[in-house]
Chains A and B, each alone.
Chain A
Amino acid sequence: MSLTRASTDELLQLLDSREVSAVEVATAFLDEIEARDEQIGAFLTVDRDGALTAARTADERRAAGESAGLLGGIPVAVKDLVCTRGLRTTCASRMLENFVPPYDAHVVRRLRDEGAVLLGKVNLDEFAMGSSTETSAFRRTVNPWNSEHSPGGSSGGSAAAIAAGLAPLSIGSDTGGSIRQPASFCGVVGLKPTYGRVSRYGLVAFASSLDQLGPLSRDVSGSARLLQVIAGHDPQDATCLNVPVPDWTGQLEQPLEGLKIGVVAEQFADGLDDEVAAAVRAAVEVYRGLGATVEEIELPHARHSVATYYLIAPCEASSNLARYDGVHYGHRAEQFDDMVDMYAASRGEAFGSEVKRRIMLGTWALSSGYYEAYYLKALKVRRLIRQDFDDAFRRVDLIAGPVTPTTAFRTGELTGDPLAMYLADIYTSIANLAGIPGISIPAGISQAGLPIGLQLLAPSLEEDRLLRAARMYERETNWHTRWPASL
């Protein structure tokens, strides 16, 4: 079997049995990136030297009979929104084109501590604002299943890298669906943990009350392992929860008994593609076949999630992105009249149109006269959305449904109509607003040959339930073993 087609578990078996070395694994992926990423466009920075150094360390540890770590010698691609010490971190923005962080994000430190091999930094929508990776200032990422289609976003580089066999694991971030939607579009697994499960220290902030880092992988086990490494308390992020981290990888193969699955009828109403609906219904039947009971539930405020999200997220973004002033780091304009004009010229030049649009929207909604009617109103609806989930999870263990209304849209299809792009977040943004975990797993292929995802949502801190349920489905199906025909 080709190393670049192997899952994380398969690679670990080969490494632990010393059948292959970490240097061989890293070289296989680096060569694959060199040969094929010009066409895929997943990577913004490839760190060949750093990757090979980390791989040699993993090999030396194994040779010395030491533990190489939970990810000893496993290559990981990191979304370029996550700070890596000494390695350019651009957020896919002209603003940070030359920014080299002086420190590692908490998750990056955890990856290094557990022996992971960082291949490089992968593409995203600028500052994670977008659903197609098209707002990247630097390059277009294609969907490996069909190069005329978007890989989704904002973690499009992460999902495309895995789907194309350029990395077995990737770190993404999810503010309104940015891990789950590209995972769905590219036919890979993507998990958004509970808000606070993973430290955001060193994750460049977009919307701080919604942002959460998480894993993308070929299969459920890969995500369980990567989450195992990055989850846990970190005092450097005040919102990071100080709660025990369960043994997700150890419990993964244990099926859940007496599972009660909720299905939201409204999610299958207008706007949902027929093939996606059929695939999700078929997935629910797989659970029924495994002994689960299925119950129809309501989330009465869920239909307002996009409106709520597109007020709260831009408001937080307008505040967070105020730090880009052309003084401490980032782009500074060459020509300006005075200090304030320097700020405005630098920001006007270096931010792309989607980022500016959201800063404008957020600034407006927070400005005098609109704050209560828009921002505070959205925060109240957010509470109601959360309460809907609290009510639902008193009756069911998990909620199953679509990740996105359609399969991957064509590149350029929605770029001229921002609102249409926003509406694609209808099923995913509810989890960020409520702070609950969600996972997207491969659950079908459309007639046109594009992947379809299944979303499972669980109560806060129930990643164990989410992963085990996802694994139950995965064991019954083979969607996660499919590769694009072009590969």
Chain B
Amino acid sequence: MEQSEVLRVARLARLKLADSEVDSYARQLTDILQYVEQLEEVQTDGVEPMAHPGGVTNVLRDDVVTESLPVAEALANAPRSDGRYFVVPAILDAG
């Protein structure tokens, strides 16, 4: 995996990497991808992908109103809040 590819994936994953990390990930991810390429040799024509092992699908519940988390508790772990909302940097220009 090229360093430019590492940076592309890091951008997709919203990860800011140090230069040294870009180097080591390029090397390590190349190793891992070479290893997993062994799956190419497995004949999988007509095999249904298995997303999870459970025997359940479309689990429904009654649409009943239940208590939700109080605002103060929901905000208690927020890095920034104003007591009513989560606070984030401005995402639109003021002008």
Query: CB within 8 Å of B: which residues of A?
Result: 98-100, 102-103, 195-196, 208-209, 235, 238-239, 241, 301, 304, 306-308, 310-311, 318, 322, 325-332, 336, 338-345, 347-349, 351, 353, 356-357, 359-361, 363-364, 367, 374, 376-384, 386, 418-419, 422, 433-436, 460
Contacts and interface: CB of A to CB of B under 8 A. Distances in A.
Contacts of B78: 327-329
B65 interface: no
Given A332-B80, A383-B50, A344 B14 contact: yes
Nearest to B55: A241
Contact of B32 (A340, A353, A418, A433): A418
A348 B52 contact: no
A367 B12 CA distance: 9
A381 B42 contact: yes
A98 B78 CA distance: 10
Contact of A379 (B28, B51, B56, B69): B51
Contacts of A338: 89, 91
A23 B49 CA distance: 52
Contact of A304 (B12, B38, B51, B59): B38
B36 to A, nearest CB: 4
Interface in B20-44: 21, 24-25, 28-29, 31-32, 35-36, 38-40, 42, 44
B77 to A, nearest CB: 4
Contact of A360 (B13, B44, B52, B54): B13
A363 B12 CA distance: 7
A209 B28 contact: no
Given A238-B56, A379-B50, A435-B54, A327 B16 contact: no
B76 A195 contact: no
A292 to B, nearest CB: 27
B76 A102 contact: yes
Contacts of B5: 364
Given A102-B74, A327-B88, A348 B16 contact: yes
B9 A342 contact: no
Contacts of A349: 16
Nearest to B47: A380
Interface centre among A326, A433, A434 (most CB of B within 10 A): A326
B74 A384 contact: no
Interface in B42-95: 42, 44, 47-56, 59, 61, 69, 73-74, 76-80, 86, 88-91
Contact of A239 (B24, B52, B77): B52
Contacts of B9: 360, 363-364, 367
A353 B21 contact: yes
Nearest to B28: A418
Chain A: interface secondary structure? helix
A205 B93 CA distance: 36
Given A341-B16, A367-B9, 20 more contacts: A98-B77, A102-B69, A208-B52, A306-B35, A307-B35, A311-B36, A326-B79, A332-B79, A342-B88, A344-B16, A348-B18, A359-B15, A364-B9, A378-B39, A380-B49, A383-B47, A383-B48, A384-B44, A422-B32, A434-B53
Chain B: interface secondary structure? loop
B16 A345 contact: yes
A371 to B, nearest CB: 11
A360 B42 contact: no
A209 B1 CA distance: 28
B53 A195 contact: yes
B28 A419 contact: yes
Contacts of A356: 15, 17, 21, 25
Nearest to B24: A353
Nearest to B10: A360
Contact of B14 (A306, A343, A374, A418): A343
A377 B44 contact: yes
B88 to A, nearest CB: 6
A306 to B, nearest CB: 8
A50 B48 CA distance: 49
A332 B32 CA distance: 30
24 contacts: A195-B54, A196-B53, A209-B53, A235-B61, A241-B55, A307-B39, A311-B39, A338-B91, A342-B88, A344-B14, A347-B14, A353-B24, A360-B25, A361-B29, A363-B12, A364-B1, A364-B29, A380-B48, A381-B39, A382-B49, A383-B48, A383-B49, A419-B32, A435-B52
A376 B28 CA distance: 22
A95 B1 CA distance: 27
A301 B77 contact: no
Nearest to A378: B39
- Kindly list the 10 A-B residue pairs having the minimum CB-CB distance in the complex, ordered from nearest: A435-B53, A348-B16, A379-B49, A332-B79, A329-B77, A209-B52, A383-B50, A380-B44, A363-B13, A344-B16
B74 to A, nearest CB: 7
A347 B48 contact: no
